[in-house]
Amino acid sequence: MPSPSFFPRDLVRIANLEEDDRAVDSSVDPPQRPRVGEIGTVVDEVAEGIYLVERCTDDGRVLWMAEFLGSELERAE
């Protein structure tokens, strides 16, 4: 089954984590790690089926930004 396609600014939910120890960028200290169930925004498709997703606070600080496989994500309402 092919992975779903997402576009910049799509809201997505982390459905599962196939890699727990992924590289994460963050503007908070200590950096947060993505967790199943969290909602983020697609920033870009960095390679076929690989998406850069960020989760921000209400005031715009980046809690985490990381790359996910499309199979790890689902659309959020």
Domain ranges of the chain: 11-75
Question: What was the pLDDT predicted at 31?
Answer: 84
pLDDT in tens, 13-53: 999 999 878 899 999 888 889 999 999 999 999 999 999 99
Q: What is the pTM of this model?
A: 0.91
**Burial of 13 from C-beta contacts in 10 A (0-12 / 13-18 / 19+):** middle
Q: Which residues, 6+ apart, have CB-to-CB distance to 14 below 8 Å?
A: 34, 35, 36, 37, 38, 39, 40, 68, 72, 73
- In CATH terms, the fold of domain 11-75 is SH3 type barrels. (2.30.30)
